[in-house]
Amino acid sequence: HIPLPPPYRIKVVEAIPFLSARERREAIAAAGYNPFHLRADQITVDLLSDSGTGATSTAQEAAAALGDESYAGARSWFRFRDEAADLTGYPHLLPVHQGRAGERILFSNLLGPGRICLSNTHFDTTHANVEMAGAEARDLPCAEAADLDSAEPFKGNIDLTTLEQTLAGPDGPRVGLVLMTITNNGLGAQPVSMANLEAAAAICRRHGIPFFLDAARFAENAWLVRQREEGYQDWTPRQIATRAFQLADGCLISLKKDGLTAIGGLIGLRDADLFERCEANLIATEGFSTYGGLAGHDLERLAQGLREVVDPAYLAARAEQTARFARMINDAGVDTVAPAGIHALYLNAGRLLPHLSPAQFPGHSLGCQLYLDGGIRSAELGSLYLGTLDAENRLVSPAPFELVRLAIPRRVYTEEHFAYVAAVLAGIAKDPERIRGYRIASAPARLRHFKVRLEPL
């Protein structure tokens, strides 16, 4: 079996900087040891996010030249709308500038004080938008997700028993919606099975609760279903994605991921009344309903991106690239959450740095070391992001795991970049004891990881 290379070649390149060790030391200190405060021109390999960071294709850029920038009724909107309607099957579609705008608009209609949003796992901005609507975000991950090393194929699933019990119990009437994140970004990029989606949809229908998908990585979830779930081997990724949308009452999509564009998002709905209420909010806060904060050229890139992202050759090569990267990292002596998903790998920093307690933020320490040693940017997913702090910013309850996410931009880095990152990790894994912990110098109340400042211990 000869693995096929990616179905594209590189035509335009962007230079990346290499800083000296001393420049990196100064840069991360000036950033308050928070990678979100680094400048892009201080970073050699940027694995902070797979959102809006992908490369576009010649076909997308050619389409962008046709962008119709009319305020209302632009041709570009209809091209995008037809593509999205065909993919999702939803009769009502609203464009938004990115995923979280869709969250705000939908939640302001379905949630409010005292209400609850249930999810397999809320992404960070989704969590914040639920709370800003006055509601509670409650995660119900499946039990298999707690074992980071097992080979279970669908650790992104929701716990169906707890879902049923919650909806049937005293909190049931307070639940405004159930939101399934595919793939589960907060939990190791693990996919959700079609069986789990079907069962969750049936439970929601029985209790009369709206069932939505947070489908930022709908194509990657579809690919993992095709690889791992019995009965889907003969389906195309696009057919699997369409089937997933069909199971839900609507969707929120950040198109900065599987839309293969720098910007964009979508709300998909079946309910005409809900659509009218969301549309009024959209017009007041994002833009008219045929552009929703996007330019015509963005809509054109998106229409083409939605076609390219479900190409089996593209998805196979991308999944294979992530799997190879995982093997390189594991060979370097660092464990990743298994099995490898597609859009990111999650390093087990707690296991690599057992000499650091959660209060010393081992995930954060590993992330800083990746920058100090290699100019590599990553994102902590551990106690700095999820732990509870007291008034003096000391950790009182840690996160379940101390992880570092290496997000993989689409069509951007080559095998050599991944080998470089693995080599830097190998250097760290040879002598992990030299790595020190951190303490928080200042932190905001909400969405802490974006604005926190730290000091090395």
Q: Which class for 267: exposed (0-12), middle (13-18), buried (19 or more C-beta within 10 A)? A: buried
**Residue 257 designated active-site:** yes
Nearest residue to ligand F0G, using CB?
99
Task: Kindly state whether residue 250 participates in binding ligand F0G, applying the rule CB under 6 A.
Answer: no
Among 49, 76, 193, 221, binds ligand F0G (CB under 6 A): 49
**Residue 82 designated active-site:** no
Give least dist CB 258 to ligand F0G, A: 10
Give least dist CB 381 to ligand F0G, A: 10
Q: Which residues pair with 440 in a beta bridge?
A: 454
Cβ nearer to ligand F0G, comparing 102 with 437: 102
Task: Kindly state whether residue 185 participates in binding ligand F0G, applying the rule CB under 6 A.
Answer: yes
Cβ nearer to ligand F0G, comparing 115 with 122: 122
> Which of the following is catalytic: 80, 107, 123, 154?
123
Give least dist CB 262 to ligand F0G, A: 10
CA pair distance 338, 394, nearest whole angstrom: 31
CA pair distance 110, 433, nearest whole angstrom: 49
Of 275-314, which residues contact ligand F0G (CB under 6 A)?
A: none
**Residue 71 designated active-site:** yes
> Which of the following is catalytic: 1, 11, 15, 71?
71
Part in contact with ligand F0G (CB under 6 A); list of ranges 70-78, 118-126, 150-158, 292-300: 118-126
> What type of residue is 449?
H
HEC-encoded secondary structure of 142-158: CHHHHCCCCCCCCCCCE
CA pair distance 80, 289, nearest whole angstrom: 13
Cα 453 → chain centroid: 23
Task: Kindly state whether residue 51 participates in binding ligand F0G, applying the rule CB under 6 A.
Answer: yes
CB 211 within 8 A of CB 200: yes
3-state secondary structure of 208: coil
Of 199-228, which residues contact ligand F0G (CB under 6 A)?
A: 214, 216
Cα 70 → chain centroid: 32
Cβ nearer to ligand F0G, comparing 93 with 216: 216
**Residue 135 designated active-site:** no
Give least dist CB 259 to ligand F0G, A: 9
Q: Which residues pair with 377 in a beta bridge?
A: 46
**Residue 123 designated active-site:** yes
CA pair distance 286, 279, nearest whole angstrom: 10
Among 56, 125, 157, 360, binds ligand F0G (CB under 6 A): 125
Give least dist CB 96 to ligand F0G, A: 9
Of 251-270, which residues contact ligand F0G (CB under 6 A)?
A: 254, 256, 265
Residue 339: count other Cβ atoms within 10 Å of its Cβ.
Answer: 21
CB 168 within 8 A of CB 203: no
Residue 344 in tokens: 């990111």
Of 392-411, which residues contact ligand F0G (CB under 6 A)?
A: 407
What b/e readout covers 168-187, taking b as 16+ CB neighbours within 10 angstroms? eeeeeeebbbbbbbbbbbbb
Give least dist CB 379 to ligand F0G, A: 7
**Residue 147 designated active-site:** no
Q: Which residues pair with 212 in a beta bridge?
A: 179, 250
CB 194 within 8 A of CB 225: yes
Q: Say how many residues touch ligand F0G, by CB under 6 A.
A: 16
**Residue 346 designated active-site:** no
Backbone angles phi, psi at 55, to 5 degrees: -90, 140
- Separation in Å, CA 172 to CA 150, 177, 309: 32, 10, 37
Cβ nearer to ligand F0G, comparing 294 with 421: 294
Among 119, 181, 193, 378, binds ligand F0G (CB under 6 A): 181
> Which of the following is catalytic: 257, 343, 364, 417?
257
CA pair distance 374, 46, nearest whole angstrom: 11
Per-residue binding letters, 88-107, with ligand F0G (x by CB under 6 A): ----------xxx-------
Part in contact with ligand F0G (CB under 6 A); list of ranges 2-10, 121-129, 230-238, 415-423: 121-129
CA pair distance 401, 340, nearest whole angstrom: 17
CA pair distance 65, 157, nearest whole angstrom: 41
Cβ nearer to ligand F0G, comparing 293 with 350: 293
Cβ nearer to ligand F0G, comparing 96 with 389: 96
CB 127 within 8 A of CB 117: no
Give least dist CB 436 to ligand F0G, A: 27
Q: Residue numbers of the site for ligand F0G (CB under 6 A)?
A: 49, 51, 98-100, 123, 125-126, 181, 185, 214, 216, 254, 256, 265, 407
Q: List the catalytic residues.
A: 71, 123-124, 214, 216, 257, 449
